[in-house]
Amino acid sequence: MIRQAIEITPGIEPLYGTHDENLRLMEDGLHVTIDLRSDAIHVTGNADSVARVERVFADFDALRRSGVNLHNGELHGMLKVVVADPSVTLRSLVDSGKQRSSGVKRMVQPRSPNQRKYVEAIEQNDMTFGLGPAGTGKTYLAVAMAVSALMAKRVSRIILVRPAVEAGERLGFLPGSLQEKVDPYLRPLYDALYDLVDPPKVDKMLESSVIEVAPLAFMRGRTLNDAFIIMDEAQNTTSEQMKMFLTRMGNNSKAVITGDLTQIDLPNPKRSGLLDALHVLDGVEGIRFCHFEDTDVVRHHLVQRIVRAYDSYGRAQQELPLSMGEPAMPEPPMTATSKTKPVAKPQ
């Protein structure tokens, strides 16, 4: 065990986080004690861990001096990655984020170890599946990677797809133009685009079909060349629809499929195309499955707690014994336990 004093430099305070949450994160993850004094920060622990804390402080100070200002939500997420992987530094994360953020309003930066694996899987594979609960960044990061690829001219267009389950075959009976009929189902994809790229630029690319947002039904019969293709809410595809979509890929294309197996809206959840794909495509070269957990939720901190509460409730309901003489209760509609039970655990 060693004890090391780190000088407090002007402007370093944001590194502490709200109510010193970033210091607590480093303490818990690196098994050190951080004592904040008026003149210095005293770090106690084994030599390697203390050195990693020193590196975080040095990197943050160097980044701040170079004009890189990280807001706390972003910084806290990056520190999770740094703490989890000794080979990663705060500066290396920022550098890689800058490289993949050309032409994007904000830096594309994973905020958890699983998000980092997801981003790297998208970069290294032609087809990537992102599976997990709401708020884990599956769709947002996929759209960000698509925009980055487009701006770097690695692809010539982006195609964003969603199954319009609620509309079924009744789209033709809804009022308005085709675009007006399907827009409500595609709104989350538009939201991600407008958050990453200036709205006038997005509108121009939508008008010229450089970015295409369409319901899944419109993909049949097409071959999508030189494109970055994203299908969101893939748990609401049937097996036939999933196969149809996956076979649309053309030359120089990349596909990302995202979904949450705990939110299947199909009449027969067991026929989810995403559930089938997990089994059928397991081990296929060039395809990567990335799994997210409630700890990866990057929305409001309450969302993570809500996801955990529903998962715990679902498990408890499954384990409750039936009272004698009481009729069997119907199964709850696809809890997290019942839906993910047949799925292989994340690698």
Angle at 311 between CA 305 and CA 313, to 5 degrees: 100
Residues 55 and 14 in one domain: yes
Model confidence at 187, in pLDDT bands (50, 70, 90)?
A: confident
Nearest-angstrom CA–CA distance, 138 and 129: 9
Q: Which two tokens stand for residue 35?
A: 């004592």
Q: Is the pTM of this model over 0.85?
A: no
Nearest-angstrom CA–CA distance, 136 and 134: 6
Q: Is the dihedral of CA 125, 206, 140, 71 positive or negative?
A: positive
Residues 80 and 180 in one domain: no
Answer whether residue 213 is part of any domain: yes
- Determine which helix (DSSP H) or strand (DSSP E) holds 57, and give its type and residue range: helix 47-65
The pLDDT of residue 321: 64
Q: How far is CA 327 from CA 144, 313, 316, 323, 335, in A?
A: 50, 21, 18, 8, 21
Of 110, 223, 88, the C-alpha closest to 159 is 223
The CB density around residue 337, as the number of other CB atoms within 10 Å, is 18
The string of DSSP letters for 262-299 reads: T---SSSGGGBHHHHHHHHSTT-TTEEEEE--GGG--S
Residues 83 and 148 in one domain: no
Q: Is the pLDDT of residue 347 over 90?
A: no
Give the pLDDT confidence of 211-264 residue by residue, as tens digits. 998 888 889 899 999 999 999 999 999 999 999 999 999 999 999 999 999 899
Q: Calculate the CA 279 to chain-centre distance.
A: 22
Those residues whose C-beta lies under 8 Å from the C-beta of residue 299, and which sit 6 or more positions away, are 134, 135
Answer whether residue 41 is part of any domain: yes
Residues 77 and 117 in one domain: no
The pLDDT of residue 167: 40
Q: Which two tokens stand for residue 332?
A: 């709850």
Mapping DSSP to helix (H, G, I), strand (E, B) and coil, where does residue 323 land? coil
Residues 31 and 171 in one domain: no
Give the pLDDT confidence of 49-90 residue by residue, as tens digits. 999 999 999 999 999 999 988 887 789 989 999 999 999 999
The pLDDT of residue 66: 92
Residues 217 and 294 in one domain: yes
The pLDDT of residue 163: 87
Give the pLDDT confidence of 104-158 residue by residue, as tens digits. 777 778 888 999 999 999 999 999 999 999 889 999 999 999 999 999 999 999 9
Q: Which two tokens stand for residue 344?
A: 């292989």
Nearest-angstrom CA–CA distance, 241 and 274: 10
Nearest-angstrom CA–CA distance, 269 and 94: 41
Q: How far is CA 184 from CA 162, 202, 270, in A?
A: 11, 17, 26
The pLDDT of residue 105: 75
Tell me which range, 148-152, 184-188, 307-311, is most confidently predicted by mean pLDDT.
Answer: 148-152
- Residue 204 · residue 175 · CB < 8 Å: no
Q: What is the CA radius of gyration of the chain?
A: 23
Mapping DSSP to helix (H, G, I), strand (E, B) and coil, where does residue 256 land? strand
Range of the domain at 9: 2-99
Range list of β-strands (E), 107-243? 127-131, 157-162, 211-215, 227-231
Round the average pLDDT of the chain to a whole number and report it.
85
The pLDDT of residue 325: 44
Model confidence at 186, in pLDDT bands (50, 70, 90)?
A: confident
Nearest-angstrom CA–CA distance, 347 and 345: 6
Return the higher-pLDDT residue of 304 and 288.
288
Residues 37 and 184 in one domain: no
Nearest-angstrom CA–CA distance, 128 and 135: 18
Q: Which two tokens stand for residue 187?
A: 């709104």
Question: Exposed (0-12), middle (13-18) or buried (19+): which is 55, by Cβ within 10 Å?
Answer: middle
CATH number of the domain bearing residue 280: 3.40.50.300
Domain finish residue from 99, 131, 150: 99
Per the structure, the count of domains in the chain is 2
Residues 137 and 284 in one domain: yes
325 phi-psi bin (left φ>0, alpha ψ -120 to 50, beta other):
left
Residues 229 and 280 in one domain: yes
> Rounded mean pLDDT of 278-305?
86
The pLDDT of residue 177: 60
Residues 219 and 253 in one domain: yes
The string of DSSP letters for 65-105 reads: HTT----HHHHHHHHHHHHH-TT--HHHHHHHHHHTTTT-S
